[in-house]
Amino acid sequence: MGLAACVQTTLSGDVLIEVEVQPGASRQGIIGFNEWRGRIQVAVKAEAQKGKANHAVCNVLSKIFSAPVKVVSGQTTRQKKVSVEGLSAIEIISILEGRLES
């Protein structure tokens, strides 16, 4: 299972990414890819209280993709699906591959 497995395009054209969040981390950003679960691992400094971690995930990913990002499912769990506006699945995979190589 590769990186492309966590990126999906919906029938309406939205692109969804499956992420696994690590709240309360000492650093923020994409920290890896969980091969077993098929999810991008995102660390955020915010604690998982009152939506703070969800907001932080959206901020981190919107800076990486230079596009609006919102959580569409998994608001209360570490496993989430986020929607990225304005980018294709191929563009997102390319950006993620560049981030995970370094």
User: Quick one: DSSP state of residue 47?
Assistant: -
pLDDT tens-digit readout, 32-79:
999 899 999 999 999 999 999 999 999 999 999 999 999 999 999 999
Whether residue 99 is predicted with pLDDT greater than 90 in this model: the reply is no
Domain made up of 3-91: CATH architecture: 2-Layer Sandwich (3.30)
The string over 35-57, giving b where at least 16 C-beta atoms fall within 10 Å of a residue's C-beta and e elsewhere, is: eeebbbbbbbebebeeeebbebb
Q: What is the pTM for the complete model shown?
A: 0.90
Pair 100, 11: CB distance under 8 Å: no
The domain spans of the chain are 3-91
Burial class (CB in 10 A: 0-12, 13-18, 19+), 86: exposed
What integer pLDDT is reported at residue 1 of this predicted model?
58
Helix (H, G, I), strand (E, B) or coil at 65: helix
**Helix 89-101 and helix 52-65, axial crossing angle in degrees, nearest 10:** 100
